[in-house]
Amino acid sequence: MYKIGELAAACKVKPDTLRFYEKNGLLNPANRSDKGYRIYSDDDAQQLRFILRAKAMGFSLSDIRELLNIEASRSDWACADVKGMVEAKALELQTKIDEMTRLRDSLQELADACCGGPESAIHCSILDTLETK
């Protein structure tokens, strides 16, 4: 049984983060002390670690809410559901990667066309390109 600061420290997050997760339905402390302090159980700690691992994998908090729902009643779901979520996330990421790669290539092309020398930028091809495509 942990108080909020203890669990937070154990998982290297701030107490406010746990309150935030609670407010957003991701982690409810098992109970409260007679004076109203949040008391977290080992299961809660495990659930927090689940959340943090999923976050590190790139899932949003609302994705994680879904994963927690599934995890809470695994038998109601198929592997296909879970795998579908993960693959969708991977695809989403890939789409962003592609977009950023195109952007990076454009920038590199822009940079390559510039002499990069110490003289005045009056003739700079980068600025020219941005000025009039």
Partner DNA sequence: TTTGACCTTTGACCTAACTCCAAGGTTTAT
Partner DNA sequence: ATAAACCTTGGAGTTAGGTCAAAGGTCAAA
Name the residue nearer to a copy of itself (CB basis): 36 or 118: 118
Inter-helix orientation angle 42-56/61-72, to 10°: 130
> Do residues 16 and 52 make contact, with C-beta atoms less than 8 angstroms apart?
no
Q: Which residues would be at the binding site for DNA (CB under 7 A)?
A: 3-6, 13-17, 19-20, 33-38, 55, 60-62
Q: Which residues would be at the binding site for a copy of itself (CB under 8 A)?
A: 46, 49-50, 53-54, 57-58, 67, 70-71, 74-84, 86-87, 89-90, 93-94, 96-97, 100-101, 103-104, 106-108, 110-111, 114-124, 126-127, 129-133
Ramachandran region of residue 29, left (φ > 0), alpha (ψ -120 to 50) or beta?
A: beta
- Strand (E) or helix (H) holding 39: strand 38-39
Q: Which does 69 bind (CB under 5 to 8 A by kind): Zn ion, DNA, a copy of itself, none?
A: none
Cα-based distances in Å from 92 to 58, 70, 128: 10, 21, 35
Q: Which does 42 bind (CB under 5 to 8 A by kind): a copy of itself, DNA, Zn ion, none?
A: none
